[in-house]
Chains A and B, each alone.
Chain A
Amino acid sequence: MIISEKDITEYLKQNLAEKLIEIDVPRERRIFARIRHSALRRAVELLKMRYDMLRFITLSVVDHGLDFEYLYHFHINGIVLTLRSLTPKETNTLESIADIIPAASFIEREAADLFGIKLINHPEPKALILTEDWPDDQRPLRKPLKGDLPPQARPIAEAFISKSCVAPISTFIQRRRETIGLPRSPPMAFTDEKALREFHGIMKATSFSEKAGFDWKKKQLRYK
């Protein structure tokens, strides 16, 4: 079988479908595939099934502040393929691929030590380079859970995304508006379900809320 960049990209596209977010071939013999984190093991299984000469190079972990990015690097007949996936730091777990690719065992344990990540289904989930009693809150490469917004801008962004309005909407001010003869609230999107749905749709469609680090379930930023 002739293995080319095209062969690998087409194979991943066909088999991962919507779990494959983006695939890029920036130059000859180099492929970056951005996949959903939930599809990581499936992607590795697919590669192992098809390519006998699949060789695991290493794992890189990047702490982006709000999310961990996992980059599993593979070598397939002269082509380097990186599977990239992103997961919220609050989840803090990585499902191991060491049962599929035993060579990943050590580096996953090292990453777990340095970033304080909990490994799931790892055949030997023990500390590798730190002591077993190393404190969880003092992992050498782990950054605090923090997004791009400076502290003073966080309440503004939070109010903007959740309520469509950057000023605080308190019962106190709404009552005061009524006492001075104004409607309880101005006719802003937060007073109208349909308008607010539209506004939230824009926040999601443009990934604004994602960039700000907004948690839609809790309706607040993921960091204070």
Chain B
Amino acid sequence: MTVEYASFLGCQIPLRLPSIEIASKKVFSKLGLKTVDLMGYSCCPEPVVSRLLDRTAWLATSARNLAIAEELNLNLMTLCNGCYETLVETNEILRNEPEELEKVNAILGQFGKQYNGGVEVKHVVEVLYEDVGIKKIKDSIVKPQEMRVALHYGCHMYRELNGRDIMRKPNMMKELARVTGVEIIDYGLERLCCGYPSMQADEEFSLTQRLLPKLRNIEGSGAEAVLLSCPACTLQFEMGQVRLRPYGCQYKFPCINIMEILALSFGFSPKELHLEMHRSPVMQFAQRMERS
């Protein structure tokens, strides 16, 4: 396989959920997908605070990351939904609004950088589904994961360019999950936000009006674990279950990332993947599944 990407790890995966970084590298290696880490990158930048505070800074910071990939002559693959949205959206603006590109390049130019709009940004789910293909992934599966999971796609996963089907990437993720052998349980609130962005404004609202209804439905659906693709949502589910305890709610769902479930199904052990780095009982759950 000759496809090569610059891998954009973002902030949360390497510093809070490094087991996803490990799983991703193992999955890419197993599938023969060549990736290089983007050197000297910064936060994408995160799509809530930075964009609201200063649009030009948001664009310029993102353009710097895109420019680093452009210097390598590589397209960019993100592992995080938030990074995906920021980088896709800013890329579209910079490609279609020459005056914005000029303004941003005037800033980047002060540091010897320039962005020419030559980078494609893809979510890892798109790369696996479109570039690698379900067949190749299926052929790599040696240990089907027989567990019942509730999928949480994450809001940014629905972001599409105008006119495109917003279910395009969620359906890809569903297909990727299904191929690992998991049973996908519908719980009716897949589209509801996990509450991560609203944690910055109102913690109680975020926990009780966003996360809690999801957890209640997931529990009622009979799912054993939550399967996610976004590290921010993963943190919200994991930390949120703890923060909901003062509200009298006791949830302990393991929150597994799509890359981790792929790695497990490729035969990597929970220990190799360091699933103990999670703040929910992913390791215990994966080991139990391994034994059964």
The number of chain B residues touching the other chain, given as a range, is 35 or more
Which residues of A from 165 to 221 have beta carbons under 8 Å from B? 165-169, 173, 176-177, 180-182, 185-189, 191-192, 194-195, 197-199, 201-203, 205-208, 211-212
Check B21 against A182 for contact (C-beta < 8 Å): yes
Q: Does B18 contact A (CB under 8 A)?
A: yes
Check B60 against A206 for contact (C-beta < 8 Å): yes
Partner of B16, one of A173, A187, A191, A195: A173
Check B113 against A160 for contact (C-beta < 8 Å): no
Check A206 against B57 for contact (C-beta < 8 Å): yes
With the chains together, A192 CA to B279 CA distance in Å?
A: 30
Q: How many contacts A-B (CB < 8 Å)?
A: 121
Check B9 against A186 for contact (C-beta < 8 Å): yes
Check B43 against A206 for contact (C-beta < 8 Å): no
For B21, list chain A residues within 8 Å (CB): 182, 186
Q: Does B46 contact A (CB under 8 A)?
A: yes
Q: Does B200 contact A (CB under 8 A)?
A: yes
Q: Does A26 contact B (CB under 8 A)?
A: no
Partner of A208, one of B19, B50, B199: B50
With the chains together, A186 CA to B38 CA distance in Å?
A: 9
Check B15 against A167 for contact (C-beta < 8 Å): yes
Residue from B38, B53, B111, B203 with most neighbouring chain A CB atoms (10 Å): B53
Which residues of B from 28 to 61 have beta carbons under 8 Å from A? 37-43, 45-46, 48-50, 53-54, 56-57, 60-61
With A168-B15, A176-B18 in contact, do A149 and B277 touch (Cβ < 8 Å)? no
Check B22 against A188 for contact (C-beta < 8 Å): no
For A169, list chain B residues within 8 Å (CB): 15
Q: Does B110 contact A (CB under 8 A)?
A: yes
Partner of B40, one of A152, A176, A194: A194
Q: Does B201 contact A (CB under 8 A)?
A: yes
Q: Does B134 contact A (CB under 8 A)?
A: no
Q: B231: nearest residue on chain A (CB-CB)?
A: A167
Which residues of B from 257 to 292 have beta carbons under 8 Å from A? 274, 277
Partner of B107, one of A152, A176, A195, A202: A202
Q: Does B132 contact A (CB under 8 A)?
A: no
Q: A189: nearest residue on chain B (CB-CB)?
A: B42
Q: Does B214 contact A (CB under 8 A)?
A: no
With the chains together, A201 CA to B48 CA distance in Å?
A: 21
For B12, list chain A residues within 8 Å (CB): 166-167
Q: B9: nearest residue on chain A (CB-CB)?
A: A186
For A203, list chain B residues within 8 Å (CB): 57
Which residues of B from 104 to 123 have beta carbons under 8 Å from A? 107-108, 110-111, 113
Check B37 against A186 for contact (C-beta < 8 Å): yes
Partner of B113, one of A168, A192, A198, A207: A198
Check B111 against A201 for contact (C-beta < 8 Å): yes
Residue from B49, B54, B107, B113 with most neighbouring chain A CB atoms (10 Å): B49
Q: Does B93 contact A (CB under 8 A)?
A: no
With the chains together, A157 CA to B19 CA distance in Å?
A: 25
Check B45 against A192 for contact (C-beta < 8 Å): no
With A152-B203, A180-B277 in contact, do A164 and B53 touch (Cβ < 8 Å)? no
Q: B103: nearest residue on chain A (CB-CB)?
A: A206
Q: Does A57 contact B (CB under 8 A)?
A: no
For A177, list chain B residues within 8 Å (CB): 14, 18
Q: Does A153 contact B (CB under 8 A)?
A: yes
Q: Does B11 contact A (CB under 8 A)?
A: yes
Q: Does B64 contact A (CB under 8 A)?
A: yes
With the chains together, A180 CA to B22 CA distance in Å?
A: 9
Check A165 against B201 for contact (C-beta < 8 Å): no
Check A153 against B54 for contact (C-beta < 8 Å): no
Check A164 against B43 for contact (C-beta < 8 Å): yes
Check A192 against B40 for contact (C-beta < 8 Å): yes
Interface string of A141-167 (1 = CB under 8 A from B): 000000011101100110010001111
Pick 13 A–B contacts, CB within 8 A, sort by A. A149-B53, A156-B46, A160-B46, A166-B45, A180-B274, A180-B277, A188-B40, A188-B42, A189-B41, A197-B111, A198-B40, A202-B60, A202-B61
> 17 other contacts beyond A192-B40, A207-B54, with CB at 8 A cut-off?
A157-B49, A160-B43, A168-B15, A168-B16, A176-B18, A182-B14, A182-B18, A186-B14, A189-B40, A189-B41, A189-B42, A191-B40, A197-B111, A201-B111, A202-B61, A202-B111, A206-B54
Closest 3 CB pairs of A and B: A195-B40, A208-B57, A186-B14
